[in-house]
Amino acid sequence: MSLVAEAFVSQIAAAEPWPENATLYQQLKGEQILLSDNAASLAVQAFLQMCNLPIKVVCRANAEYMSPSGKVPFIHVGNQVVSELGPIVQFVKAKGHSLSDGLDEVQKAEMKAYMELVNNMLLTAELYLQWCDEATVGEITHARYGSPYPWPLNHILAYQKQWEVRRKMKAIGWGKKTLDQVLEDVDQCCQALSQRLGTQPYFFNKQPTELDALVFGHLYTILTTQLTSDELSEKVKNYSNLLAFCRRIEQHYFEDRGKDCTFLLLCIHGNF
Amino acid sequence: MAAPLELSCWGGGWGLPSVHSESLVVMAYAKFSGAPLKVNVIDNTWRGSRGDVPILTTEDNIVSQPAKILNFLRKQKYNADYELSARQGADTLAYIALLEEKLLPAVLHTFWVENDNYFTVTKPWFASRIPFPLSLILPGRMSKGALNRILLTRGEPPLYHLQEVEAQIYRDAKECLNLLSHRLGTSQFFFGDMPSTLDAYVFGFLAPLYKVRFPKVQLQEHLKQLSNLCRFCDDILNSYFRHSLGGKLAPLQLSFICVEYLHILLGLYKQNSLLIEEVCALSLNAGL
């Protein structure tokens, strides 16, 4: 969006309060959604819960194509459609709700840096595992990605997406990495997050911020998704304060409010 | 360590030991950690490879990519981070990720994609350091690689358009520079008084942007307004790279090459010595 269009949209956004019928669109929970998209969707849901804004989750097979930027999840609020966590945070801020107002400039810089760390390492590792690791691609990803479509569209779309993701991996230098190197990067990232969190309840002590929502989204999805092997979730389980962090946010923002998160509840038992 | 460590990387100019960000990161880290590095600057002979630069060669290893080279140096006990706490180490990783995600696309765009900058500055500089006929091919390939990287990480599938992302990447880069400036504040380095890995990375990304003279300079103008970041770059250049003449010799070499071609084309052998003297004086002034 150009600068002028963005300024215009945030003016309009600021004018109206948050409606009751705001909806979040993602792919089908049971059969279609993949690890990275689920993590992103959960992060947005967690963020909106932390802001106390009601949101209804709707699953559609073509959510990716409906989204203005091609990425899920996206929210439909009033007559605006905003996708991805970054723009959604700004949109919500224009409406007057913010989690990071209490932070000073240095803390805001740190928060943004850690959010980029999660995007740079965790998200890329998830994409790598889903689309560049042959075992996972064959057994899980292709089948799930193409499940709503008839033959031969399911194969064509899956191969197209795989080609796109592989191009991106090559451009950023991850094309030549082996799975072990990727898992090591995940470990490094989790170690950094664990050290930053320390013994605090949230990353910036008493109050959660969008960083907490993002980290929760990714770590929780990694812990609760069944993949061909457990190596990825094992890396996260090594850090007990991260596990406690996930449990705390889940209890406080999802279970207490009686939200319907069938995907979450199905997988949580036996993992902690 | 007794084994000699050789680094092959792109050379310097405009007062910098190297104009290539990744090479500069490694050179800065080596200075900070005290690693004895022999720097082999890539020139226009056929010696050495040009792909994947910077490359560290020891007796039994060849390591490429800055992150791997830094890891290797740490394992050889050249560690600039041993005084950092665990949390500062975590912050380092986070800020490096911020640099790569928010600042790097705009730096790549300024150097390799923006037509005015690419055709007047970047391409001639790199082409002069690559032997003919590779000099016709390699800079173009590097430019396409940079454009690819920007579009694939920031563009919107399935049709990737540069115009849509240009405004966004420059906005992100300016925000990133502001964040770095806030974080640095008034201290000399990012973590106290001793430079560490993060300082090497920030220096590597910012110094070329700060020093290289471009026609289209919007990001450079923004950086120059952040005086603590400029002071940071100048401090490191003065303290750690003052004695390296790499930056000063390059324009001299370049001018000698120009002079030779002039002679061949115009047959000015009689005025040989006068011309060389004049060009020497000019380039010494420019280098200083």
Residue located via tokens 């590779």: B134
Name the closest residue on chain A to residue B150, using Cα atoms. A171
Question: Residue B231's pLDDT is what?
Answer: 92
Name the closest residue on chain B to residue A174, using Cα atoms. B65
Greater model confidence, B64 or A165: A165
- Contact of A185 with A191, CB cutoff 8 Å: no
Question: Residue B81's pLDDT is what?
Answer: 83
Q: How confident is the model at residue A268 (pLDDT cuts 50, 70, 90)?
A: very low
How confident is the model over A70-105, as pLDDT tens digits?
888 899 988 889 888 988 998 898 888 888 888 888
Question: Residue A41's pLDDT is what?
Answer: 93
Q: Indicate if the pLDDT at residue B1 is higher than 50.
A: no
Alpha helix (H) residue ranges in B36-133: 66-75, 86-98, 104-108, 115-117, 123-127
Q: Cα–Cα distance between A211 and A45 in angstroms, integer? A: 13
- Contact of B145 with B104, CB cutoff 8 Å: no
Question: Residue A10's pLDDT is what?
Answer: 67
Question: Which residues is B39 bridged to in the sheet?
Answer: B7
Q: B286: closest CA among B234, B258, B249, B233? A: B249
Q: What is the ipTM of this complex?
A: 0.86
How confident is the model over A205-228, as pLDDT tens digits?
788 999 999 999 999 999 998 888
Residue in B94, B156, B182 nearest the CB of A117: B94
Residue A168 touches partner B, C-beta closer than 8 Å: yes
pTM: 0.83
How confident is the model over A1-45, as pLDDT tens digits?
556 666 666 677 677 888 888 999 999 888 888 899 999 999 999
Residue in A106, A120, A189 nearest the CB of B183: A106
Greater model confidence, B10 or B2: B10
**What percent of chain A has a predicted confidence (pLDDT) above 90?**
38
Distances (CA, A) of A224 to A72, A126, A187, B253: 19, 13, 17, 61
Q: Cα–Cα distance between B141 and B133 in angstroms, integer? A: 13
Name the closest residue on chain B to residue A160, using Cα atoms. B158
Mention every residue, 6+ apart, whose C-beta is less than 8 A from residue B288.
B248
Amino acid at B94: A
Indicate yes or no: CB of B98 within 8 angstroms of CB of A106: no
Indicate yes or no: CB of A192 within 8 angstroms of CB of B89: yes
